[in-house]
Structure 1
Amino acid sequence: MHNAQPWSFRYFQGSRVLHLRADFDRAIPHSDPDARALHLGCGAALLNLRVAVVHEGWFPAVRLLPDPADPALLAAVQLTSAEGRESGLAVLYPAIHRRHSSRFPFEETEIPEALRTALSDASDREGAKLSFPGPWHQQEVLELVEEAERRNLTDHGSDEELGQWTRVDAPSVNTVPDGIPDYAFGPRKRGGKAPMRDFAGTRQVAGRGSADFERSPQLALLSTVDDRPEDWLRAGQAMERVLLLATLEGLSSSFATQAIEWTDLRWPLREPLSGMGYTQMILRLGYGPEGPGTPRRPVPEVLDIQP
């Protein structure tokens, strides 16, 4: 959330084990009081790690939340030479470096049904469900996101966090190591129905224009049966697997998390036919420009190597 990058890795060379740890100093407590979004982001980082490990010819044996006494230890990954069922991950490796959030208008071109099915299958493999809402449900989702966006504009806590994690004076990707710089905000929405968060808030950004967005945005809801930290980690891995595959298939993407940040708005997002499941993420997908790269923390800050 907000490119806070709330993770760190520790590698134990002797045992060939990687630990993924949550960095709770980078939490966003007002908008994410239960650290659900933090776990999703760390889950996405874990999926990238698994993809890289398989790409290098190893097999990652993953244990989620291996120590109940240490909630910051989110996963332990044992690198082994044994063959496993991760062969489908290696092909995703090139997309890790290409996938960026795109906050620009997408085309109205419909995503083929076969590709939607492939994206849903990718989510299934990680223990989450990806669904594309029908017209009635999508309209409900869009209205909930709009309501959340209106609330955020007058919510002091949301505004403070947005100010902490957005940069309106960062001319290049190397200026700061985290957050969202203004060159990645995208244009202000002049028209259309795409659920866009305005990261500038009430601030003026020099040279920023406005644009018409999609009249018929293509949204996907990612959900899990339960709503525990383990489910959040699985959802984060599913989200990243979907996004990497979407990138390889020529799709751009962005997130619409506003309604998920409000408890009373999150529950109505659920799948309407069954009424079951917890919505973890709303994805906006489509054919359009790839977003610009955003900052990443230096490797020494996020990776500690032990004997």
Structure 2
Amino acid sequence: MAPQLNEKTLTALVAEATAAPSMHNAQPWRFRYVAADHLLMLHADPERAMPRSDPGNRALHIGCGAALFNLRVGAAHAGLSPKARLLPEPTEPLLLAAVHLADSAEAQPDGDRDEDDLVRLHPAIRQRHTSRHPFAEKDIPEEVRTSLREAAAREGAVLMFPGPWHVETMLDLVRDAESRDSLEPELREDLDRWTRLGPEADTAVDGVPEYAFGPRKRDGKAPQRDFAGRRPVADRGSTAFEHSPHLALLSTSGDGPADWLCAGQALERVLLEATLADLATSLTSHPLESADLRPLVRDPVSGKGHVQMVLRVGYGPRGPATPRRPLRDVLEFV
């Protein structure tokens, strides 16, 4: 039986799309369904942009790209064949993608379909949560690393695991970024806007609530942004993190809006693949937010393209679910 593109189905698809990660959990997306054309339109929400941390909206596009990938996974699981066009209207820069939702049984084979693999990833959408907790000092098998590299490649990106010396360089860059935050408080304006402390954490529909901050780092080298800063958080505590963190660099050949959307899709595909491999994950964008630090993140020997995200992967707790905006606020039917 062909799936019904009714309000219930579309609401479920958008709910899965919005489970994607975004910078500071700002959720900078809006969806609009055009019933006459079976098109689900993905728009950027400029009110959720971060002028200090993301002045070019690179991270905003990456978050929306991750939501787009989740939408593709959800649609395939629902028996649909999603066909996405990126940036379909040059005169509408906020329209990031148009997704045609066809019955997969009626879709014409085109040699690029991977609906079966998308369906395989579907359970990981709700299992994936950013973890800001310590990971075990345990290596990641090469076959798992290979599967993550292949996941990125299927979305047109490159994932590489840098060697120990470059990991140390990236850790130094993270510390440099943190030092700038402490010396220039205005750099923390976006972070302060999107963190939720005290009673607000229990009622928030966006942002990073204090229960998702993770413990303070007492020892270790894992790159861990302290969302609390100097603000007190009750019952938070501190603990030791791993001394040899496993980091991965996600890169694209270009560095424009279409590349950022592809990076977001690749990022989410990697994160879902990692979740199915029982890996915990977190994202480190701190050094990428500074124009002068970002080029230094790339491995000068083997790195290519433009680094769009630094991932931390390992074996450990997955972290709590973070709040999501009500679907009535992000989905419109026309």
SS at match of 1:77: strand
Q: CA RMSD in A?
A: 1.1
- Tell me if the contact between 2:251 and 2:304 (Cα under 8 Å) persists in the aligned partners: no
| 1:202 aligns with one of 217, 223, 230 | 230
Residue 88 of structure 1 corresponds to 117
**TM-score, normalised relative to structure 2:** 0.89
Structure 1 gaps of 5+ residues are none
Deviation at 1:271, TM superposition (A): 2.7
Letter paired with 1:13:
A
Is 1:104 aligned with 2:133? yes
Find the aligned partners of 2:192 and 2:172 in 1 and give their Cα distance: 25
Aligned pair 1:161/2:183, yes or no?
Answer: no
Segment of structure 1 superposing worse, 7-16 or 295-304: 7-16
1:242 aligns with 270
Retained in 2: the 8 A contact 1:137–1:272? no
- Residue 55 of structure 2 is aligned to residue 33 of structure 1: yes
- Aligned residue for 1:19? 41
> Which position in structure 2 is the counterpart of 1:270?
298
* In structure 2, distance between residues paired with 1:69 and 1:30: 26
Rounded Cα–Cα distance in structure 2 between residues aligned with 1:88 and 1:187: 36
Residue 14 of structure 1 deviates from its aligned partner by: 2.0
| CA distance 1:225–1:11, shift in 2 (3 Å) | same
Distance 1:155 1:53, change over 3 A: same
* Structure 2: 5+ residue stretches without partners: 1-22
Corresponding residue for residue 126 of structure 1: 155
Looking at structure 2, the residues matched to 13 and 86 of structure 1 have their Cα atoms a distance apart, in angstroms, of 23
Contact 1:170–1:182 at 8 Å: present in 2 too? Answer: no
2:134–2:316 CA contact under 8 A, matched in 1: yes
Asked if the contact 2:282–2:313 (Cα under 8 Å) also holds between the matched residues in 1, the reply is yes
Distance in 1 separating the partners of 2:64 and 2:71: 10
Q: How does 1:280-291 map to 2 (within 5 A)?
A: 280-291=308-319
Q: Which residue identity lines up with residue 142 of structure 2 in the other structure?
A: E
- Structure 2 residue aligned with 1:55: 77
How many Å separate the matches in 2 of 1:187 and 1:212? 9
Percent of counterpart pairs with the same letter? 57
* Distance in 1 between residues matched to 2:121 and 2:183, nearest whole Å: 40
Q: Residue 145 of structure 1: CA displacement?
A: 1.1
State the AA in 1 paired with 2:325: R
Aligned equivalents of 2:28 and 2:298: distance in 1? 27
Partners of 1:256 and 1:282 within 8 A in 2: yes
Please name the residue that 1:116 is paired with.
145
User: Per the alignment, in what secondary structure is the counterpart of residue 254 of structure 1?
Assistant: strand
Mapped partners of 1:97, 1:249: distance in 2: 14
- Please name the residue that 2:32 is paired with: 10
Q: Secondary structure at the match of 1:284?
A: strand
CA distance, structure 1, for counterparts of residue 302 and residue 195 of structure 2: 38
Q: 1:254 touches 1:283 (CA, 8 Å); kept in 2?
A: yes
Q: Are residues 1:221 and 2:249 paired? A: yes
Contact 1:222 1:239 in 2 (8 A): yes
Q: Which moved more, 1:29-38 or 1:274-283?
A: 274-283
- Give, as a single letter, the amino acid of the residue that structure 2 aligns with 1:188: R
Q: CA deviation at 1:172?
A: 5.7
Alignment of 1:145-160 (within 5 A): 145-160=174-189
- CA shift, 1:154, in A, is 2.4
| Equivalent position to 1:79, from 101, 121, 127 | 101
Distance 1:39 1:157 in 2: 23
Give the partner amino acid of 1:91: R
What is the number of residues matched between the two proteins? Answer: 305
Structure 2 CA distance for aligned equivalents of residues 284 and 274 of structure 1: 19
Trace 1:241-260 onto structure 2 (pairs within 5 A).
241-260=269-288
Judge conservation of contact 1:187–1:210 (CA < 8 Å) in 2: yes
